Structures are given as structure tokens and as C-alpha cells.
């Protein structure tokens, strides 16, 4: 049983929020997918050569998070096997069912791009290995272990660019559609805003790039070589640019609601000042937005180099991951704290154990990192130290 602590008038059936921390975790993971994929696409499509050292790693990160993007939803469902009904009995008018199609299309694009990029490496490993290992790489190479010709390499490169190009909008739709679902709930004034999909997309880019910065640093520590300063600085500049746009949209959203001063603002202002004061004002705006904005601004404007640049960028990345997590929490959980009467609040009590508790959420969030480690073991993104620092 959930202990009910309410303020004001609430309807008798509003016992507790039905969407738990797992539903907040779901758009957080999908955001990391889109952001990591964007880093790779900036190199392959837009020719940002500075991002070459991290381009391959970012694809593995996108794949690792994509494989577990639906896991929070499956744990939330009482009958997770019914999720397959989306494919067996498709409903093209359902926004939620549409996620299944978008997710599968993106997964196919991502796997094809990774396979084409790593094909020469797979063929080389298939020719050099023996026994079970040789069979494994032979299967990955689809039985074709002849060294590709120069013409085949040029064709592969064009296909990679094409897949990376179409993968960008698909990845944006993958994470933006979550904001679309929340924004279309007209009955909830905290969700119902046309800016919601764009805020989700921008925050996804921010969290994905921040995660890539951290994982790149960890990878460099593991292989024992210094990080590429040019790559690091370019990622910091891109992260700052996305942060400026994302912060502007988030602030414009709340300013617009306050400026309208409609009936809903009275209850939203109480929600922010009471129920979400710490998670919204302290975590999301001050610690997670203002501080990284200043630190990254110092890195970019003053052209910092060396360890100081590295540490300021890493600290900013960690804080931005916290900021996006707080934003997801405030949207998913915060929106459910509003009573449907708009005259009271409910409370959400975070469980530690249980099917939808904090422990399960932590385990699910750690699974993609284990998958990324396995991918990097099978096909190392840095075959030589020079690959890691370009």
C-alpha cells in the first residue's frame, strides 16, 4: 500500500502516480542513444575530423543503449510479452505503438552502419584467427573474408554516409516522440506545450555528448594513452552550443507559461516551489544548467588547454547528465503530482526494491555499459594507440 499524503483537493482514484522511475529512465536512455549517434554522424556526415578518435566508440555506445532502451518499459508492464502485439497487430494511429516501428528502423540503420564501418576489421580478424574465434568472425563477415577492393571501400563509405545522414532524423524522432506524447496530453498543463518534443531532442543531444566525453576519458585511461585534446575541445564546444539552445528552450517554456498567467500557472507555480523545488530549481536549473554553462563557456571562450580544460569539461559533462536526469524526473513524475482537479497534489514515494524500484532502475542503467564493454572487446574501436588520439 502507498501512503497518501496530499495537499488540496484530489479525486479519490488518484492514489499515486502510475508511471514510476522506470518511465523516467526510459526517455533518459533513448536520449543517450540519439546523442551518442549524433557524435558519430558529425564526423561521417558533416566532416568534423576532430571527432574521428571517438566516432567508432560513439556507435557502440548508441547500440549498447539502444538494445536496453525498451527494458524499463518491459519491467513496467504487468504482461511484457504483450509488447509484441505492436508488431502483430499494428495500429498506425497510435503514437505509443509508433515507437516500436521507429525503434526497429533505427536499430537496423545503426547495425548496418556499424557492420560496414567494421567490415575490413572483421575480415582481417577472420583471416588471422583460428578455431571458434575464426568461425565467429566468419559469421560476422557473412562468409565473405576476401579483402575488399578499393571500389568496394568507396561504395561502403558512401553507404555509411547515407545511413548516418538518415539516422540523424530517425534518432531525433526516436527521442522526440516521447516529448510529443507528453505534449499532446491537453489535460495536464505541465505537459501540454508544443516545445516539449524539441526540449526532449535538445536534452538528448546534451546528455549523449556528455556521456561520450566521459566514456572517451574512461577508454583512454583503460588503454593508457592521453586523450586527444583537439577532439576533447571540439566536443566541449559542441556540448556548449547544444546547452545554449536547450537551456533557452527550457527557460522559454516556463517563462511562456508564467507570462500567460492562466489558471494553470497558479498550480504549476506551487508545484515548482513546493514539490519540485530541489529537483527543478536546484538540480535542473542551478547545478545542472547554470554551472556547466559557465564552466564550458570558460573552456571555449578562453581557449583553455591541458588538464584544466579536461577537468572543467568532465565536471560539466557529469553535471549535465544530472541535469537531464532531473529534467526527465520533473516531467514524468512531476506532471503526475498534479491532481486532475488542478486543485491539489499527490505524492510519489520512490521504492528501493520491487519491480519498479530504484535498485532495478540502477541495474537497467548499468546493463548498456556492460554491452558496450563486450562490443569493444569483440571489435576494439582503438586497434592502436594512434586510433585513440588520431
Nearest CA among 15, 27, 55, 24 for reference residue 39: 55
Distance set, CA 88 to CA 95, 103, 292 (Å): 16, 15, 46
Instruction: Give the position of cell 544548467.
Output: 289
**What pLDDT is recorded for position 136?**
93
In a domain, 2, yes or no: no
What is the greatest pairwise CA distance in the chain?
Answer: 72
**What pLDDT is recorded for position 10?**
64
Find residue 344's DSSP bridge partners: 8
* Domain that residue 157 falls in: 10-381
Enter the C-alpha cell of residue 133: 574465434
Considering just the CA atoms, what is the radius of gyration of the chain in Å? 22
Contact 99, 177 (CB under 8 A): yes
Instruction: Give the position of cell 500567460.
Output: 260
In a domain, 335, yes or no: yes
Torsions phi, psi for 271 (to 5 deg): -60, -45
Please count the other Cβ atoms lying within 10 Å of the Cβ belonging to residue 264: 16
**What pLDDT is recorded for position 242?**
96
Nearest CA among 27, 70, 16, 37 for reference residue 180: 27
Orientation of helix 263-270 relative to helix 229-260, angle to 10°: 130
In a domain, 280, yes or no: yes
Round to whole Å and give the CA distance between 53 and 175: 26
Distance set, CA 215 to CA 208, 363, 374 (Å): 10, 18, 14
CA dihedral 113→115→118→123, nearest 10 degrees, is: -150
In a domain, 386, yes or no: no
In a domain, 288, yes or no: yes
In a domain, 32, yes or no: yes
Round to whole Å and give the CA distance between 82 and 130: 43
Indicate which CATH number applies to the domain containing 298. 1.20.1630.10
**What pLDDT is recorded for position 390?**
53
In a domain, 31, yes or no: yes
Per-residue confidence of the chain (390 residues) as pLDDT tens digits? 334 444 556 666 666 677 889 999 999 999 999 999 999 999 999 989 999 999 999 999 999 999 999 899 888 887 777 777 777 777 777 777 777 888 889 999 999 999 999 999 999 999 988 889 999 999 999 888 888 888 888 999 999 999 999 999 999 988 888 888 888 887 788 888 888 999 999 999 999 999 999 999 999 999 888 888 899 999 999 999 999 999 999 999 999 888 887 788 888 898 999 889 999 999 999 999 999 999 999 999 998 888 889 999 999 999 999 999 999 999 999 988 887 777 778 888 888 888 888 999 999 999 999 999 999 999 998 866 555 555
Contact 239, 247 (CB under 8 A): no
- Total domain count, the chain: 1
In a domain, 65, yes or no: yes
Q: Give the start-end residues of each E strand in the chain.
A: 7-9, 343-345
**What pLDDT is recorded for position 6?**
47
Amino acid at each position: 500500500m502507498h501512503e497518501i499524503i496530499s495537499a488540496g483537493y484530489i479525486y479519490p482514484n488518484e492514489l499515486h502516480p502510475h508511471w514510476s522511475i522506470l518511465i523516467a529512465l526510459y526517455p533518459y536512455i533513448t536520449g543517450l542513444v540519439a546523442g551518442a549517434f549524433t557524435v558519430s554522424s558529425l564526423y561521417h556526415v558533416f566532416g568534423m575530423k576532430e571527432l574521428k578518435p571517438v566516432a567508432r566508440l560513439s556507435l557502440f555506445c548508441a547500440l549498447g543503449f539502444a538494445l536496453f532502451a525498451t527494458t524499463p518499459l518491459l519491467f513496467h508492464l504487468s504482461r511484457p510479452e504483450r509488447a509484441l502485439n505492436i508488431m502483430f497487430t499494428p495500429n498506425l494511429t497510435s503514437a505509443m505503438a509508433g515507437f516500436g516501428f521507429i525503434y526497429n528502423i533505427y536499430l537496423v540503420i545503426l547495425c548496418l552502419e556499424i557492420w560496414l564501418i567494421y567490415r575490413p576489421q572483421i575480415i582481417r580478424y577472420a583471416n588471422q584467427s583460428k578455431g571458434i574465434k575464426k568461425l565467429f568472425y566468419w559469421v560476422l563477415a557473412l562468409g565473405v573474408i576476401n579483402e575488399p577492393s578499393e571500389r568496394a571501400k568507396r561504395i561502403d563509405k558512401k553507404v555509411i554516409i547515407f545511413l548516418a545522414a538518415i539516422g540523424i532524423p530517425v534518432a531525433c524522432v526516436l527521442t522526440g516522440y516521447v516529448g510529443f506524447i507528453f505534449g499532446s496530453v491537453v489535460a495536464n498543463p505541465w505537459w501540454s506545450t508544443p516545445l516539449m518534443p524539441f526540449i526532449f531532442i535538445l536534452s538528448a543531444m546534451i546528455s549523449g555528448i556528455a556521456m561520450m566525453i566521459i566514456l572517451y576519458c574512461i577508454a583512454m585511461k583503460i588503454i593508457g594513452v592521453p586523450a586527444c585534446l583537439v577532439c576533447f575541445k571540439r566536443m566541449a564546444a559542441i556540448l556548449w552550443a547544444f546547452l545554449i539552445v536547450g537551456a533557452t528552450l527550457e527557460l522559454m517554456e516556463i517563462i511562456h507559461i508564467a507570462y500567460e498567467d492562466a489558471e494553470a500557472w497558479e498550480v504549476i507555480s506551487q508545484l515548482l516551489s513546493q514539490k519540485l523545488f530541489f529537483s527543478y530549481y536546484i538540480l535542473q536549473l542551478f547545478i545542472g544548467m547554470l554551472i556547466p554553462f559557465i564552466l564550458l563557456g570558460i573552456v571555449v571562450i578562453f581557449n583553455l588547454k591541458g588538464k584544466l580544460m579536461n577537468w572543467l569539461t568532465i565536471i560539466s559533462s557529469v553535471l549535465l547528465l544530472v541535469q537531464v536526469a532531473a529534467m526527465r524526473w520533473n516531467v514524468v513524475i512531476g506532471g503526475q503530482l498534479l491532481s486532475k482537479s488542478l486543485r491539489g497534489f499527490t505524492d510519489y514515494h520512490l521504492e528501493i526494491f520491487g519491480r519498479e524500484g530504484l535498485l532495478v532502475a540502477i541495474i537497467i542503467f548499468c546493463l548498456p555499459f556492460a554491452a558496450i564493454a563486450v562490443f569493444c572487446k569483440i571489435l576494439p574501436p582503438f586497434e592502436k594507440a594512434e586510433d585513440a588520439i588520431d
